[in-house]
Amino acid sequence: HVTKHFPARGSLFKRGPRRVVHAADDVSIALRAGRIMALVGESGSGKSTFARLLAQLHPVTSGEIRYRGKPVRVKGGRSLRAHVSKVQLILQDPFGSFNPVATIARTLMRAVRIHHPKATAAEQRRIIDDLLGQVSLRPARQFTEKYPHELSGGQLQRISIARALAANPDVFLADEPVSSLDVSIRLGVLNLLRRLVEERGVALLYVTHDIASARYFAEDTSVMYAGQLVEAGPSETVTQNAAHPYTQLLIASAPDPSRADDARPRDIGQPPSLIDPPSGCRFHPRCPFAMERCRTDAPPAFALEDGQWAKCWLYDGDDEAAARRVENAA
Ligand code: SF4
Ligand code: MG
């Protein structure tokens, strides 16, 4: 039930009511070892903020983050380091996450020293070689003496994964890990992440705006809209038989890779501001099925089949609506 509200920029010193950014409202997900969960939404939906909350980079306003069933309480210093070593964040822009004047060896050495403080210098160098091997950058010496600008985006993203692996984490939070990369190398990096999930049994949260990639990459998919989850379930079901009108819109707007003339997403309008989001169902201003109650009452999660659920009044025990869903998804 993670909720994060923060004051809107510039509102602190203004008169009148404080404006609040609803970055995350009552968001609940469960990550499992050896599985990938996709968190899908447009930019500005709050999905990156949510990943950063899980990494404890910001405190939550309310709700709780649990690790193996126990609440994580970070009070700085040692407890933050302990959490960071279990949960590693991989960011979208690998160039922005490296010190441009440090060699790769130096950057990796820093991470290795933090997590293997007792290893000798020779052992630490061996750990670095091993980490680079795990992300298929071999031989290691081809990369260790390079600076970030001498490497491609794909190589650097692999090195940021290697750096994350130095902590031997149980959880990876990957925020659009391939969006800034060339289309031709995206699959290689995703396959690497998939292999790490399978071989090391880590749990991976894959944050993306690309619902098509969620289908082949992640077992489970959660869809976020305006700071709230609106639908979740097995990726197969969510992408093939989307229940929520927003998920249906996302799927309809994704480019179809089997058609050469269909390279661009269709214009589907803009998500609302997270400051003063719409009342009731936050999707109602864009929803083709919006009813009167949608404007005033926020829908709860309605359970569907196979672990799928959707927060949408169409599923409030209304058989006709269920029929509409099938029609619409077909
Ligand atoms: Fe559309 Fe209403 Fe469902 Fe919201 S609750 S998605 S407005 S039908
Ligand atoms: Mg983002």
What average pLDDT score do residues 248-276 get?
75
For residue 247, how far is its CA from the centre of ligand 1 (angstroms)? 11
The four Cα atoms 72, 78, 82, 88 give a dihedral, to 10 degrees, of 100
- Is the pLDDT at 326 greater than 70, yes or no? no
The rounded Å distance from CA 175 to ligand 2 centre is 7
CA–CA distance, 148 with 195 (Å, rounded to integer): 25
**Ligand 1 test: best mutation among 223, 244, 247, 287, most atoms within 8 Å of CB?**
287
| pTM (two decimals) | 0.90
**In the beta sheet, which residues pair with residue 89?**
173
Mutate to test the pocket of ligand 1, among 293, 295, 312 (most ligand atoms within 8 A of CB): 312
Mean pLDDT of all residues in 229-237:
97
Distance from the CA of 320 to the center of ligand 1, in angstroms? 14
- How many angstroms does the Cα of residue 126 sit away from the middle of ligand 2? 35
pLDDT in tens, 144-161: 999 999 999 999 999 999
pLDDT score of 13: 58
**Would you say residue 258 has pLDDT above 70?**
no
Distance CA 145, CA 168 (A): 23
Bigger pLDDT: 73 or 91?
Answer: 91
Task: Output the pLDDT for position 318.
Answer: 58
Q: How much is the pLDDT for 330?
A: 42
Residue 75, pLDDT > 90, answer no
Confidence of residue 94 (pLDDT cuts 50, 70, 90): confident
Please name every residue paired with 204 in a beta bridge, in sequence order, or none if there are none: 36, 172
Q: What is residue 16's predicted lDDT score, i.e. its pLDDT? A: 65
* pLDDT over 60 at 277, yes or no: yes
Between CA 51 and CA 132 the distance in angstroms is 25
What burial letters (b/e) apply to 168-183, b meaning 16+ CB within 10 Å? ebbbbbbbbbbebbee
Contacts of residues 113-122 at CB distance under 8 Å and 24 or more positions apart, as own/partner, are 114/81, 114/166, 114/167, 115/85, 115/166, 115/167, 115/168, 116/166
- List the domain boundaries for the chain: 2-101+147-329
Which of 283, 293, 318, 325 for a ligand 1 pocket mutation test, highest count of atoms within 8 Å of Cβ? 283
Q: Which atom of ligand 1 is nearest to the CA of 293?
A: 2
Q: Which atom of ligand 1 is nearest to the CA of 299?
A: 5
Question: Which ligand has the minimum distance to the alpha carbon of residue 247?
Answer: 1
**Nearest-CA neighbor of 309 among 317, 300, 297, 301?**
301
Q: Domain 2-101+147-329 belongs to what architecture?
A: 3-Layer(aba) Sandwich (3.40)
Ligand 1 — pocket residues by CB below 6 A?
Answer: 244-245, 281, 283-284, 287, 289-291, 294, 299, 312-314
* Residue of 86 and 221 predicted with greater confidence: 221
Predicted pLDDT at 253: 86
Kindly report the backbone phi and psi dihedral angles of residue 254, in degrees, each rounded to the nearest multiple of 5, phi listed first.
Answer: -70, 140
Distance between CA 108 and CA 129 in Å, rounded? Answer: 10
Res. 268 pLDDT band, cuts 50 70 90: confident
Give the pLDDT mean for 215-239: 97
* Percent with pLDDT over 90 in the chain: 72
- The per-residue pLDDT for range 302-322, each reduced to its tens digit, is 999 989 999 999 999 756 555
Our mutation pick for probing the ligand 1 site, out of 314, 315, 316, 320, counting the most ligand atoms within 8 A of Cβ, is: 314
The ligand placed nearest to the CA atom of residue 223 is 1
Percent helix, strand, coil in the chain, to 5, is 40, 20, 45
**Which residue has its alpha carbon closest to ligand 1 atom 5?**
312
State the distance from the centre of ligand 1 to the C-alpha of 287, rounded, in angstroms.
6
Listed in sequence order, the DSSP H helices in 29-140 are 47-54, 77-86, 104-115, 121-134
Taking the CA of residue 246 as reference, the ligand 1 atom at the shortest distance is 6
Which of ligand 1's atoms lies nearest the C-alpha of 281? 4
Alpha carbon of 311 to ligand 1 centroid (Å)? 8
For the CA of 42, the nearest ligand = 2
Q: What is the mean pLDDT of residues 240-260?
A: 85
Q: What does the pLDDT average to over 14-32?
A: 87
Question: How far out from the chain centre does Cα 69 lie?
Answer: 21
Give the pLDDT score at 3. 97
For 232, phi then psi, to 5°, come to -155, 160
Of 10-14, 40-44, 215-219, 308-312, least confident by mean pLDDT is 10-14
Nearest to 247 by CA among 237, 261, 255, 257: 237
Tell which phi-psi region holds residue 201, choosing left (phi > 0), alpha (psi between -120 and 50) or beta.
Answer: left
- Quote the tokens at residue 218: 């992640």
The pLDDT, as a whole number, for residue 9 is 74
CB 94 within 8 A of CB 36: no
Residue pair 291/315 in contact (Cβ under 8 Å)? The answer is no
Residue whose CA lies nearest to ligand 1 atom number 3: 312
What percent of the chain is predicted at pLDDT more than 70? 87
